[in-house]
Structure formats: structure tokens, C-alpha cells
Structure 1
Amino acid sequence: MTNEFNPRDPVAKPKLSVVIPARNESTTIAYVIEEARSVHPESEVIVVVNGATDRTAEIAAQMGAKVIRYSAALGHDVGRSLGAKEARGDIILFLDGDIVISTDLLTPFVQAVENGADVALNKYQGRVNTKNVHNVVLSKRVLNALLSSSELGASSMTTIPHAISRKALRVIGCDNLAIPPKAQAIALTSGLHVAQACFVDVGKVNPKRRKSPDPLSQLIVGDHLEAIHWLFSQSDSRANRSDLGRQRERVRD
């Protein structure tokens, strides 16, 4: 007879850690946690509540999650980094507190890591059937192309859900998870196995933003520029691309 896994036991080691940054998400957080903790019988849920003025933290605690609370808003994706530092599982699944995703759609990300992937990404590509490709989609595609991974399209660690292995966490480093495109660049240049796990249409369920220009889009583009800057700092001026015998010195003769 085996003992049932108890996520509150400090000695017990979960197979899966689910990290959920949240701010004022009292209307959705219970549903997010309920779906997430059903993905694996040996799982812990970590909710990083920051800058909340509602009952998000109290509801998460009532749902059995480990709550890490900050009175100030930490900014986009910082909660992922802080939650990952507390994670004990072999697999870490990243979600957001305002988007409810069913267990059936979350499970393939964990299974992908169990089957050998170090990083399991959402196949979501953003809006592509349009004349004007969104600058965020373009940024994701450019970065993946520079990383010699054009087959990923716009799949990105910027997009939830995604999951990583404990090995990937060690290679990438918790701090770098705060800049998801940089984390992806580190993963790919380090030879980690990055795969597309499942399609989840987060564009359909994500709360609509009405500000123009959208400050979040600008932040994400900036994150990709930071990742590209890091990539060039690790390589030559052509990101290790061949010059195909071009004799540049002739121009200067």
C-alpha cells in the first residue's frame, strides 16, 4: 500500500511543480489551480501573488496551493522566476492566473517532458492570416530563425502553457526565466531538446487589451531584442552564420 502524495509535506518530492504568477485574479485562480493540480497525482501548485488588492492569495491558499506573496507588483514574468526557485518537482509547468486551461490541454506538456523534451512549448503561432504580422509574432519568428530553429515558428516561452525539465531549469537558471525569450535562446544554444507539445489557443481566451500602443507588446518585443543581444554576445557579428566566401576586403581596396 502506497501513501498518497501530500504537497504540504516538506519532505515529499513532487513529480510536477505548477508555477502560477497572479495579481488580482480572484475570479479565475481557483479554476486555474483545480485544472492544474489534476495533471499529475504527485504535483504541487505554487502561486506567486504580487501586488494584489483582492482575495487571490486567500483563495489560492484555500485551494491547497503554496502561496508566495509580495505586496508590490513585480512586473511581467518575474513571478515565474520566483516560483521556479521554490519548485521541487522534476517537471515545472508554467501558467498564468487569469487564463483557465483544461487538464486535458495541460497534460501533453508534462508528457512531452516525461518523453525526453527539456522544454515543451505551446504550438500557438499568434495571428498569421493577416496582411500585417503582429510585431510580437514577428519577434518570436526572428529569434527562432536566428537560433536555427525556424521549425518552431512563433512558438515561445513567452506563451503559456509551457513546461521545462529540472535539467533545463539548471541550464537556463531561475533568474533568466524572467525574460522568457532569453531563456529560450539559452536553452537552444545549450543543446537542450526544445519541442512543441500541444496547441492551446490562448489568443482566444486571453483578456483583450484595449490600450494602443499595447505596453505588453512593447515589453515582449523588448525582451526579444534583449535575447538577440545576448545571442550575439555569445557569437560573432553574424551569429555564427557563414559569409560564403564573400571577399569584403575587395570593397575597401
Structure 2
Amino acid sequence: MVNRRPTRSRRTAASPPLRRKPTPTRQKSIPIRRNRNNLGARKFKRPLTSPGSANYWRERAYTAGYLAATAEDPPLTEEKSNPVENNLHHKVNARWHQWYQSVKRLPWPLYHAAAARFAEGYRKHAGGYFGNRLLVPTTKKVAAIVTVMNEKDTILSVIEQLHRLPLHEIIFIVNGSTDETFEMIRNQSRAIIVHYRHALGHDVGRAIGAKLSESEILLFLDGDFPVFAEHLVPFIDAIERGVDIALNNISPYIGLFSGRDDVTKVKEFINRSMARADLESNSLTAVPHAMRKQAAQLIGYANLAVPPKAQVIAIDKGLQISSPASVDVITPNRLRARNVGQNNAVSELIIGDHIEALKTALDLKGSRLSFADRIRQRPLTRH
């Protein structure tokens, strides 16, 4: 009998028992923060309490507001210190500004959320009614200057939004109105009202309001349509941070150059003539915009009646001009007989103002304005 060697597939009594290779246990992966050097890592979801989250800043602002209220002795009340100011609103705004200066700047949606929680924390201890009022990142005196003519359908909404801000002055220039606008402002607001029975013409009211105001920051509006108070805060903030003039950035709403009207084109040409192509078509002709009181004095109050001319003077004097925010004033603009259709009366007036501004620019810059002559060697003809 032949003894055969057992094959590998057969087991004999002497062969050791087979042991299966243990399967490795799956370890729980640790989330890793995604960064530029680790593009393949899993997306890391930060907890709501991290310093970069919205909830973190809301709760931090709430605590700061509560602590600010506990430091007040005696607690603040709703007493009025002048016909416009609300003592509680302005005092809470001062505490907010003091705290906000100690932290990093926040995006505007998060800013308003944190400011609301700060006011809520303050009221938790001090009591009082704050409503939907806003807090602004400045303690400087701010004035809203509003030109009005037959705006009975919109003026109450304009007043409502202005009362949400901690303003020191509200100045209405009512000119040439034949409806109930004047009575509505007088009954619904504690504002200063300058009433002219005859029409002053475009932009003259802004010059009058700027001269009458005693505030450090001037915020210019029209009574045609309301602008949400939240949208006005960036213009105030720009002046607080050192800008002399804060324009409304209307560039996102004007479309391609081929589709622009003559008014928009001439606005941009004036800015380019003064070597400020970065301003595009943004102009003092569009509201809302803000200005430092000293800047208005330097430009000259009379020149504010012709906004593009005032802008040329401001650029020539080296004033700092920026466009910190965009507010759509084209869509809600009220249609009137004077501003409808091609070559309407309003557009012709604005173009005429820009021609006057161009004349001022030529006087200041010379015949070439800010455009260099790269082709002709003109100095050679003088010998």
C-alpha cells in the first residue's frame, strides 16, 4: 500500500486547526478641518458655539448687553432729551458702540442680529421697550435730511424707517407740496420741518438741510420711497470709519454699457474725467448717500444744489469718496410725468447739471482733464 502525502486541501488528525484571520475593526474617523493644504479631508462642521458661528456672536452680544445694563446706575428711562432723541435708544447705542469697538467687524446680517441681541440683553435687566429699533456703529450725531414734494402716499413709511435709527436730527424740506404731506409729517414726527410753499427745484432742499444741520454725519434721502433702516447703516458706518462721502453703489442695477441711458453714461464720464473710474456711475445725484458735515462745508453748501458739480469739487479737494453699499433706487422710483420717457425733463436737468460739472472740471484740470495725450507731442509746438 502506497502512502500518499495529504494535499493542502485535506486536514489530517496531526495537522493543527485552521485559524481565520481576524477582520480588522473599523475605527471611527476623526473629522479634520478643511484647509488649503488638506483638500481631500472631510468637511468639518463647526459647532454653533465656535467663535465663527452666528450663534456665538448673538450670545456674546446678549451677555454684553446684560452686563452693560447692570453697570447703569440709575437705570435708563424713556425720557426725551430733545424733540427727536430717545434717551434709552441713544444710551443703549452708546453702550453697543463701546462694546462693538472691542471685537472684530461683523458682516452686516450678523451685525444686525448681534445688535438686536445686545438690546435684548440690555432690556432683560433694565426693562423698557425697544421695539424694532436699530443700533449703529457710531456715537457721532447723525442727521437725516429728506426732501419732500407731494409724497402723502410714502412719507409715513419713510418716517417709520427713520424712527428706527438713533438719529439726533430729522430735517424735512417740504417744498411746493399741494397735498397733505406737511400735515402728515407734523402729526407723525418730531422732526424739524422747513416748509416752502413754492417749489425749490431739484437738490436745493439738500443744500438747505445740510446748512441747517448741527450733526456730524449727514444722511440724504428723498421722500419718494422708503429705504429700510438696515440699508442705511453701512453709509453711516463708512463716515464713522473716516470716509468723507459715502455714495450709493448703483452699478449692480444699471446693466451693460450698451443698454445704459444718457444720464448713466454722463455720470461715469464725469468720474473718469476726474481720474476716479473706480466710482463708475455712482454719483451724488442718487440717494441714499452720506457726507461728513466738514466735507459739506469744504465743498460749499450752495454747490450741493448741483450734485455732480459738488462731486467734482470733492474729488479735486482730495476728499475720500467710497461706495460702501448698494440700494436699488431704480426699481421703486416713483414714476411722474417729468421723469418718464426718453429725453424727459428730469433727465435733461441731470445732464445739464453734469455739463455744469464738466465746466468746473475743465477749469480745475485743464482742457485734457485727467486724460493723458499719448499721441501728440504738443510741447514741441511752443518753441
* TM-score, with length taken from structure 2: 0.61
Counterparts of 1:248 and 1:112, CA distance in 2: 43
Answering whether residue 314 of structure 2 is matched by residue 181 of structure 1, we say no
Answering whether residue 179 of structure 2 is matched by residue 54 of structure 1, we say yes
Per-residue CA deviations over 1:44-67 (Å, capped at 9, x if unaligned) read 110000111111111112211111
In the TM superposition, residue 4 of structure 1 has moved relative to its aligned partner by: 5.0
Match of 2:232 among 89, 106, 110: 106
One-letter code of the match for 2:332? Answer: V
Greater mean alpha carbon deviation, residues 29-38 or residues 184-193: 29-38
- The answer for the alignment partner of 2:263 in structure 1 is 136
Answering whether residue 356 of structure 2 is matched by residue 237 of structure 1, we say no
One-letter code of the match for 1:210? Answer: V
Answering whether residue 164 of structure 2 is matched by residue 164 of structure 1, we say no
For structure 2, the 5+ residue unaligned runs are 1-73, 86-138
| Displacement over 6 Å in runs of 4+ | 249-253
SS of corresponding position for 2:219:
strand
One-letter code of the match for 2:290? Answer: A
Aligned 8 A contact 2:176 2:197 in 1: yes
Counterparts of 2:201 and 2:341, CA distance in 1: 18
Per-residue CA deviations over 1:101-120 (Å, capped at 9, x if unaligned) read 00000111111101111000
One-letter code of the match for 2:315? Answer: L
Answering whether residue 78 of structure 2 is matched by residue 6 of structure 1, we say no
Answering whether residue 214 of structure 2 is matched by residue 84 of structure 1, we say no
Aligned 8 A contact 1:19 1:93 in 2: yes
For structure 1, the 5+ residue unaligned runs are none
Greater mean alpha carbon deviation, residues 80-89 or residues 124-133: 124-133
- The answer for the alignment partner of 2:143 in structure 1 is 17
CA 1:5–1:204: 2 relative to 1, 3 Å = farther
Greater mean alpha carbon deviation, residues 20-29 or residues 243-252: 243-252
- The answer for the alignment partner of 2:344 in structure 1 is 214
- Write out aligned runs for 1:58-69 (5 A): 58-62=183-187, 63-69=189-195
SS of corresponding position for 1:197:
strand
Counterparts of 1:92 and 1:37, CA distance in 2: 16
CA 1:195–1:148: 2 relative to 1, 3 Å = same
SS of corresponding position for 2:330:
helix
SS of corresponding position for 2:258:
coil
Larger C-alpha radius of gyration, 1 or 2? 2
SS of corresponding position for 1:99:
coil
Aligned 8 A contact 2:84 2:170 in 1: no
SS of corresponding position for 1:131:
helix
Counterparts of 2:280 and 2:227, CA distance in 1: 22
Greater mean alpha carbon deviation, residues 182-191 or residues 236-245: 236-245
One-letter code of the match for 2:367? Answer: S
In the TM superposition, residue 240 of structure 1 has moved relative to its aligned partner by: 5.1
- The answer for the alignment partner of 2:129 in structure 1 is none
CA 1:14–1:8: 2 relative to 1, 3 Å = farther
Counterparts of 2:296 and 2:147, CA distance in 1: 17
One-letter code of the match for 1:198? Answer: A
SS of corresponding position for 2:158:
helix
- Write out aligned runs for 1:117-128 (5 A): 117-125=243-251, 126-128=253-255
Aligned 8 A contact 1:80 1:178 in 2: yes
Question: Percent of counterpart pairs with the same letter?
Answer: 37
SS of corresponding position for 2:172:
strand
Aligned length: 249
- RMSD over equivalenced CA pairs, Å: 2.3
In the TM superposition, residue 249 of structure 1 has moved relative to its aligned partner by: 7.2
Aligned 8 A contact 1:14 1:44 in 2: no
Counterparts of 1:110 and 1:23, CA distance in 2: 25
- The answer for the alignment partner of 1:204 in structure 2 is 331
One-letter code of the match for 2:372? Answer: S
